[in-house]
Structure 1
Amino acid sequence: MTSAPWLRRPQPRPNAAVRLVCLPHAGGSPGLYRTWVTLLPPEVELLLVCPPGREDRLDDPLPADLPALVGGLGAALSPLLDRPWAVFGHSMGATVGHELALQLVRQGHRPPVHLFVSAREAPQFHHGGTTHLLDDDALCAELVRLGGTDAALMAMPELRRLVLPAVRGDYRLIETYPARPDGLLPCPVTALVGADDTELTAEEADGWRQWTSGLFQRLTFPGGHFYLSDRPQEVVSAVRRRIAEYTTASL
């Protein structure tokens, strides 16, 4: 069973009860979540999404739009839905994860047991934007402002050449995303936010309540837009507890 090149399995757990699919932010890579494998119990297998344009996919063409991205990922993930699964997406990854779950449910696959949307406004509050049109210096400055990106690294011309195409491409996808999801998910949805995240309001996070027929909860952590990088233990513990609520009841 293969899902390359879209998915990474840092520690295969063929007997796991649940698979947790983690999606990065715009321009991000699977590295955002690699430490999670040591924080999750053996019952949970981590699947890390690697979109085109990063790591060993630098030469892969970037998707034309967000539906194309979701379609490619969905095709790769489908063979791995032979057991319960959950989705965690950060920032742009939350939007991709939501659309991915909706697409797979429409195709007849089992719904996820939980959708975790991190640092992202609900679709009805989608901002759009023109960040993808900035020149390289301004784009790097925006990445540093958001946190999660070292200013010294962004000053290195060779690194810029490697990472900025994927960053710009992802921003183009999310900023031109029409934000018209179709249908409700039947699973619980948890919105996770940083208390000091200037990119998101409580109202925008709570708007995810409208996209599920299941339970909704908002969790707030100390920190800004990349709060999860500073507090991985706390975030993973929260995710574990909510996944366990399902597995204890149903498996």
Structure 2
Amino acid sequence: MTSGMDSDTWFRRYSTTATPRSRLVVLPHAGGSASFFHPWGRAFGGDTEVLVAKYPGRQERLADPFVGSMDMLADQVTAALLPFADVPLTLFGHSMGASLAYEVVRRLERRHAVRPAALHVSSREAPHRLTRRALYQEEDSALIAELRRLGGTDSALLDDPDVQEFVLPALRADLTIVDCYGPRPATPVSCPVHAWVGDADPSTSAWEMNAWADVAPCGFQLRVLPGGHFYLVEQHDAVVRALSAQLVAAGFE
């Protein structure tokens, strides 16, 4: 089990006033930070405590070295999460975070006999359907072009050299993790899996997200919402409503 300081290092914690009945663990996208999910912090009611992962190399962890692989990242996040496993855990991972959430669930189940209440994967292909890329090796201009393609970042900000200097190192480090991960066998998890995708996502489709059913013998649901890769910004209320219903059920298991 990891120390409390390790857990504080890895998670931005939105504590509840009462003892939580469940916890929602949010794992951001490549180049993302915990601040992106700040609107989720108090959105799920007093019975749910929200934990958002703080990846190294950005914001308050700016001085911490980047992690080099998905397996290393999953090992560290899993260790930091163990002290919070005293109530049902629901994991939600967006884009890179979806692959990370899947790997964390596998570790929780197989190494620590912790069965999460549910796994939510957003805007990222299933592990056995991934195709390796080498975008992380491209010039900065290619990374900026990818950010523009996916949306989620103000296009005008991407023209600012100071913003680029701040954003690109973390993005390149995360893309190293993403591009070098998979394809991997469709190893099943023992909790229900919920897949999410925007109907205009340029990086994946509803058909591709449906392949997550191959790792979900305990139940699978696909939700397709209006929007692109970052549909969860414009569809915030719809996502919160659907997640809230599942979290309420998880708290009474």
TM-score (norm 1): 0.94
- In 1: Cα distance, 2:105 partner to 2:138 partner: 31
Could you tell me whether the CA contact under 8 Å between 2:16 and 2:46 is conserved in 1?
no
Residue 56 (str. 1) matches residue 83 (str. 2): no
Relative to structure 1, the CA distance from residue 225 to residue 24 in structure 2 (aligned partners, 3 Å threshold; closer, same or farther) is same
Which residue in 2 is equivalent to 1:33? 37
**Which of 69, 72, 94 is residue 68 of structure 1 equivalent to?**
72
SS of 2:14 mapped into structure 1: coil
Write the deviation string for residues 216-243 of structure 1: whole angstroms up to 9, x where unpaired: 0000111001000111111011111122
Unaligned runs of 5+ in 1: none
Per-residue displacement from partner, 1:57-105 (whole Å, max 9, x unpaired)? 1121111211011111111111111111100000010000000110111
Aligned residue for 2:210?
Answer: 206
Contact map agreement 2:206 2:224 (CA 8 A) in 1: no
State the identity %: 38
Q: Could you tell me which amino acid in structure 2 is paired with residue 159 of structure 1?
A: V
Matched, 1:189 2:201: no
Q: 1:96 to 1:181 in 2, by over 3 A?
A: farther
**C-alpha separation in 2, matches of 1:37 and 1:4:** 15
1:171 aligns with 2:150: no
User: Are 1:4 and 2:8 counterparts?
Assistant: yes
Matches within 5 A, 1:86-97: 86-97=90-101
Q: Secondary structure at the match of 2:83?
A: helix
Paired residue secondary structure (1:74): helix
User: Are 1:116 and 1:190, in contact at CA under 8 Å, matched by a contact in 2?
Assistant: yes
User: Which one is further off, 177-186 or 85-94?
Assistant: 177-186
Match of 2:85 in 1: 81
- The one-letter code of the counterpart of 2:29 is H
Shift of 1:245: 3.0
Aligned partner letter, 1:167: L
Give the count of matched residue pairs: 249
Q: Which residue of 2 aligns with 1:114?
A: 118
Structure 2, gaps ≥5 residues long:
none
1:125-169 Cα shifts (integer Å, max 9, x gaps): 102212112211221121011010112212222221122111001
Quickly say closer, same or farther: Cα 1:90–1:150, change in 2 above 3 A.
same
Question: What is the TM-score normalised by the length of structure 2?
Answer: 0.93
Aligned to 1:126: 130
Distance 1:20 1:82, change over 3 A: same
Q: For residues 239 and 150 of structure 2, what CA distance do their matches in structure 1 show?
A: 19
Aligned Cα RMSD in Å? 1.5
